[in-house]
Amino acid sequence: MERDPLTDIDPVESEEWIEAINSVIETEGVERAQYLLQRLSTKVTETGAQLPYAINTPYRNTIPISKEARMPGDLFMERSIRSLIRWNAMAMVMRANLKDGTLGGHISSFQSSATLYDVGFNYFFRGTTEEQLGDLIYIQGHSAPGIYARSFLEGNLSEEQLDKFRQEVDGDGLSSYPHPWLMPDYWQFPTVSMGLGPLQAIYQAHIMKYLDNRGLAGRGSRKVWCFAGDGEMDEPESQGAIALAGREKLDNLIFVVNCNLQRLDGPVRGNGKIIQELEGVFRGAGWNVIKVVWGRQWDPLFEKDKFGLLQQRMDEAVDGEYQNYKSRSGAYTREHFFGKYPELLKVVEDLTDEDIFRLNRGGHDPYKVYAAYDAATSHTGQPTVILAKTVKGYGLGPAGEAQNYTHSVKKLDLEGLKDFRDRFDIPISDADLEKVPYYRPPEDSTEMRYLKQCRSSLGGSLPRRKSDFEALQIPPLSVLESVLKGTGDRQISTTMAFVRILSSLIKDKQIGERIVPIVPDEARTFGMEGMFRQLGIYSSGGQLYEPTDTDQIMYYREDKKGQVLEEGINEGGAFAAWLAAATSYSNNEIPLIPFYVFYSMFGFQRIGDLCWAAGDLQARGFLLGGTSGRTTLNGEGLQHQDGHSHILASTVPNCVSYDPSYAYELAVIIRQGLQEMYVEKLPRYYYITIMNENYEQPPIPDGVEQGILRGMYCLQKNAVKSSKKVVQLLGSGTILRESIAAAELLQKDFGVIADIWSVTSFNELRREGLSVHRWNMLHPQEKPRLSYVEECLNGVSGPVIAATDYIKAYADQIREFVPGLYSVLGTDGFGRSDTRERLRKFFEVDRYYITVAALSALAQENVIDAAQVTKAIELYGIDPGKPDPVTL
Ligand SMILES: Cc1ncc(C[n+]2csc(CCOP(=O)(O)OP(=O)(O)O)c2C)c(N)n1
Ligand SMILES: [Mg+2]
């Protein structure tokens, strides 16, 4: 017997065990072997022993050769097509940078993942047909050139379009990364902000199951494919929701992690192994893990590896070393990888250094990738992650293959181009090489026919995005009559009004079932728990236990057909669920109306990047920022009291935002949102803040609807022509009620008359004003137009004083459009817990401060004497030496 180089104290005994298990496999099958191992491992763990293989397997392919599904197509044909895609992808980046060295772009990422995409496009990714809706594919953002290059070969993009890569200003260029906003008929998912793709993909698959269970599913069974980088997996967003996918058994979801071992600056895990780490993490989260580490060339070496020495060497080498084997040479690999053990050197003694260099990685071997995809698509009961090992900058040779700098390579020199051309057999002559021409074989060539055949049998070219959808039938405003008519003496909050509005809409025959209420463990905070029983909480497993509150009317009812999405304490995930529902009009061809209700402080601030992606995605739906306002959410404290989400919302160009005071305003805004998004199909989404302060909700006054929607309207017109001491008070959110109280003080204590305006949206007022002023600037000789703010305030007299529960910048936005003196009160500074009254005094937005601000403005305009202001300060007990709250 040969010497076993592994540290084995009793090789004979080891051999007996292996023979025994072999005989079980041969006579009784693998399942029996699995059972016995299970029993054995249970036995061993009784002693307290830790079994590492429960979570990690050796560093090799998960699918053994004997179980690999065989790729049916023409390997050589596919290689030559893939080579052309590689070339054109590289050429488009290079040409963009030859034209203007500042345009950027990436070559190396796609070169590492070309085979991963290609096998998918050739065999697995289904397009939309009469019978089925297409698969949904999240593409790694900076691999976009490779996807364009395929579209070019397939005849869907022209050379002129490729030449406009990253030149998007004219509107006809190809966007730098996948951006549905810029290429609405092509890209489906914005992915380039690392981590958002994986998170969105998980919730996309989740919402597809939800629709399935509710009987709203579209045609056919579909898969969500998510391509991600190994570096990208470090984002908390990438891994943050994988447990949900495992728990929910999302077998419609496949992750493909391109493990090229590198990120932008250097190795992902130089001192460890990213594939092994991810294997453990995903397996622990309940995923089916398929490692595709080694390509076919290694198979014969494994056969020669009697004692697992090759495996041991593979297991012990770290990623930093693996990177070296590909950035250096075959000779280097022989010496440093195989050379560690003389027995291993023997295994490769018949191979030349070139042969050793060509020992390929799994992610570059179409056979191995095919087998993995085949296994993933037929796996049931679990999501699958494919961990494919590749080489970053594959094929670039010394110009960048596996080099630390390769992420930023944007061009090759002439030698590099020649090498690349020769390596991939691109039919371009030396003379033409310098221009880096695109290459597309003639239409009737076998390659082109093969390529087109592949796609037509899978339902057509991808990516493709559907923008249009069937408009919904939205009920008239009168269905919200109960909210519009006011509450009389009863005091309720706008949050309670919202719940009433939502209940009415859910009862509507046309749109009721399309409404998707989403909460991140906050339903009770918002008084929405009535929906638990009424609509049911979605649970793919139904309810396997009797809830403790079954005897209550509003018990915690989980249901397979539940309509409410209760996503737990997980604002990012709940928002991603909202995104999937808000884009269902496109991705599932079923418009949904999601209402995501959350603590407003944990909205835009917490998950701003997803809110930005929502704009790119043309999401349609409602975000409700609950318990909003710096002083309205009394109690809680600094990290709860939101005084700036509106400013953040205003940065998303197609997010329409409102801070209404009254229930009827809320009703009008929601009705308009439904009309704009689902009837007029405007690509926008709504952010509305709602509050928890109870007060009497007045009935809707006549003729205010347009004003509510445009951003302000006159609530009380008190001044008459003969009035001298007049001010205009603007209030938003519940602070409007302080403005109303200030008007009374002004009149009673100082004989000043105030008109009162309810401002529902300083953001919308600013947008409109800016667009009007822009028009005026560009049309100097035409009659200037008036902004809506000017329209409202031009004819009125007196200074204008605005007060809000948001930072001053919120109300300050309209300064440019306010004629005359404008002063703004807001809640700048860190929040803190106290009563509303004390908080409003602290932040200087209460009725007394509004009164003082109004008098101060009148004094500045010499309408009253400054002594009147001093009198007010004394009368209301204001301390002029009080520190500025922004400093506290
Ligand atoms: C949130 C975020 N941070 C940083 C970047 C910049 N960035 C783009 S690609 C990249 C490296 C990606 O590495 P990896 O995920 O391993 O992908 P590879 O190119 O290696 O396939 C970085 C840091 C980004 N796009 N998004
Ligand atoms: Mg990488």
Q: What is the mean pLDDT of residues 495-499?
A: 96
Please list, in sequence order, all residues whose beta carbon lies within 8 angstroms of the beta carbon of residue 44, skipping any fewer than 6 positions away.
51
Distance 190 CA to ligand 2 centre (A): 18
Extract the tokens encoding 828: 């700048």
Classify 731 as helix, strand or coil.
Answer: strand
Output the pLDDT for position 306: 84
**pLDDT(361) > 70:** yes
- Asked if residues 401 and 270 have their Cβ atoms less than 8 Å apart, the reply is no
Q: Check if 707 has its Cβ closer than 6 Å to any atom of ligand 1.
A: no
Token pair 């918002």: residue = 526
**pLDDT(2) > 80:** no
Q: CB-side exposure of 418: number of CA atoms within 13 Å? A: 5
What single-letter DSSP state applies at residue 134? Answer: P
Q: Give Cα separations from 223 to 148, 253, 259, 379 (angstroms).
A: 22, 6, 22, 12
Q: What is the mean pLDDT of residues 287-302?
A: 97
Measured from the CA of 113, which atom of ligand 1 is nearest? 21
Q: Check if 260 has its Cβ closer than 6 Å to any atom of ligand 1.
A: yes
- Does residue 221 come out as left (phi exceeding 0), alpha (psi in the -120 to 50 range) or beta? beta
Pocket test for ligand 1, best of 177, 194, 233 (most atoms within 8 A of CB): 194
Q: Check if 14 has its Cβ closer than 6 Å to any atom of ligand 1.
A: no
Q: How far apart are CA 77 and CA 325, in angstroms?
A: 29
Q: Check if 319 has its Cβ closer than 6 Å to any atom of ligand 1.
A: no
Q: Check if 269 has its Cβ closer than 6 Å to any atom of ligand 1.
A: no
The region of weakest confidence among 91-100, 429-438, 664-673, 786-795 is: 91-100
Q: How far apart are CA 277 and CA 568, in angstroms?
A: 27
Residue percentage of the chain with pLDDT more than 90: 91
Beta-strand runs (E) in 740-820: 753-759, 800-803
Beta-strand runs (E) in 120-173: 136-138
> Given pLDDT bands bounded at 50, 70 and 90, which one contains residue 53?
low
Please list, in sequence order, all residues whose beta carbon lies within 8 angstroms of the beta carbon of residue 62, skipping any fewer than 6 positions away.
289, 290, 291, 292, 372
Distance 121 CA to ligand 1 centre (A): 23
Between 839 and 40, the more confident residue is: 839
* Cβ neighbours around 57 below 10 Å, total: 16
Going across the sheet that includes 136-138, the strands are: 136-138, 224-229, 253-259, 384-389, 288-292
Output the pLDDT for position 845: 98
Distance 55 CA to ligand 2 centre (A): 23
**pLDDT(227) > 60:** yes
Q: Check if 263 has its Cβ closer than 6 Å to any atom of ligand 1.
A: yes
Amino acid at 42: T
Look at ligand 1, atom 13, and give the residue with the nearest C-alpha: 263
Output the pLDDT for position 210: 97
For the whole prediction, is pTM greater than 0.85?
A: yes
Q: Check if 672 has its Cβ closer than 6 Å to any atom of ligand 1.
A: no
Helices 866-875 & 735-750 angle (0-180, nearest 10) = 110
**Nearest bound ligand to the CA of residue 109:** 1
Name the pairing type of β-strands 685-689 and 655-658: parallel
Q: Check if 143 has its Cβ closer than 6 Å to any atom of ligand 1.
A: no
- In 10-143, where does DSSP find H-type helix? 11-28, 30-45, 75-99, 108-119
Q: Check if 805 has its Cβ closer than 6 Å to any atom of ligand 1.
A: no
Distance 261 CA to ligand 2 centre (A): 5
* CA neighbor of 424 nearest in space, from 151, 149, 164: 149
Q: Check if 390 has its Cβ closer than 6 Å to any atom of ligand 1.
A: no
**Nearest bound ligand to the CA of residue 114:** 1
* Cβ neighbours around 52 below 10 Å, total: 8
Look at ligand 1, atom 25, and give the residue with the nearest C-alpha: 193
Q: Check if 191 has its Cβ closer than 6 Å to any atom of ligand 1.
A: no
Q: Check if 192 has its Cβ closer than 6 Å to any atom of ligand 1.
A: yes
> Given pLDDT bands bounded at 50, 70 and 90, which one contains residue 6?
low
> Given pLDDT bands bounded at 50, 70 and 90, which one contains residue 806?
very high
**Nearest bound ligand to the CA of residue 193:** 1
Look at ligand 1, atom 16, and give the residue with the nearest C-alpha: 231
Extract the tokens encoding 296: 């076919």
Distance 187 CA to ligand 1 centre (A): 19
Q: Check if 681 has its Cβ closer than 6 Å to any atom of ligand 1.
A: no
Output the pLDDT for position 1: 39
Q: Give Cα separations from 872 to 65, 532, 863, 875, 879 (angstroms).
A: 87, 51, 15, 5, 11
Q: Check if 393 has its Cβ closer than 6 Å to any atom of ligand 1.
A: no
What single-letter DSSP state applies at residue 364? Answer: G
Distance 474 CA to ligand 2 centre (A): 47
Measured from the CA of 112, which atom of ligand 1 is nearest? 21
